[in-house]
Structure 1
Amino acid sequence: MEGITESSRRIADIISVIDGIAFQTNILALNAAVEAARAGEQGRGFAVVASEVRSLAQRSAAAAKEIKALIDDSVEKVGAGSELVERAGATMTEVVASVKRVTDIVVEIRAATHEQNAGLGEINLAITQVDETTRQNAALVEQAAAAADARKGQAGNLAVVVGRFKLD
């Protein structure tokens, strides 16, 4: 962008030189017309040439002015383009920083998810152990109930046998 701006400035300088040459040529043609008028009939052909030179000088000046306006417009647009490029660069820097932050957050979430999965595995194992212990306890309770029923039957039989003995 700086190269384009520099080239535009150099072209503007050259246009200024062309404009100066056109101005000097116009004055020269005017002086030639004055000298042709002084020469009278003999300077008449020279007056036509001076008039044509003056016309060319004026056209050159007008073209130089138009080119200068175009160059000025181009320089302005290049400046606006440079600003847009700078803003786009700043925006891209912000986007990259945001993506980095999001990436960091995703890494943290992944680590937390891994830890939760490990914790859930431990909880699942503990629940399995509690379930197994509960089943074992239920089996023991059934065995204890069966043993109690058996003892109750034995106690009843013992009571009948003891009831046959009388103590006086």
Structure 2
Amino acid sequence: AVLLGGATALMPVFARDLLHVGPEGLGQMRAATAAGAAVVAFWLSFRPLQSNVGVKMLAAVVAYGAATIGFGLSRHFLLSLACLACLGAADMISVFIRSSLVQLRTPDTVRGRVSAISGLAVSASNELGEFQSGFAAALLGATGAVVFGGSAAIVITLAWAWFFPELRRARTFETRWEQKS
């Protein structure tokens, strides 16, 4: 979803050409995503998620896609900042759950390999997502690329929920061994 839903690479275009806020506005846009993520990370440190974590992770990715679409369609700076803050917040929830599930649900014998692949996928998806956004912007324009990416993130998330039901069935962070005891 992040591979297709990345609006970060196109923020300079939005700041200059669509929102007309210049470099100062671009800085605020970049900060809004981080602020949304930081607020949720702080909140999760005091109120960690404990139930229906799979559904919450999938819902967070859908919210990420919806916030991306909202940002792409917005022509009001404050609404754009709000969408970016929501995007960062939703991404933090998804990352928190995904990281926890990978660490707690992966068997000890392959945890290192799975974590390495997960880390590679996350870091590579950001750069590849920026490439994809630029390529899509050349074909669809900046707005079209961001809206397409957010929509594709939602479609992919729904497909993953269907094809990998164990994701949506994850109820807690407890391992299978702890659930049986």
* Coarse TM-score class (shorter-chain normalised): under 0.3
Q: What is the TM-score normalised by the length of structure 2?
A: 0.25
Comparing both chains, which one has the higher relative contact order based on Cα–Cα distances under 8 Å and sequence gaps of 6 or more? 2
Q: What is the TM-score normalised by the length of structure 1?
A: 0.27
Judging by fraction of residues, say which structure has more helix: 1
Which structure has the greater CA radius of gyration? 1
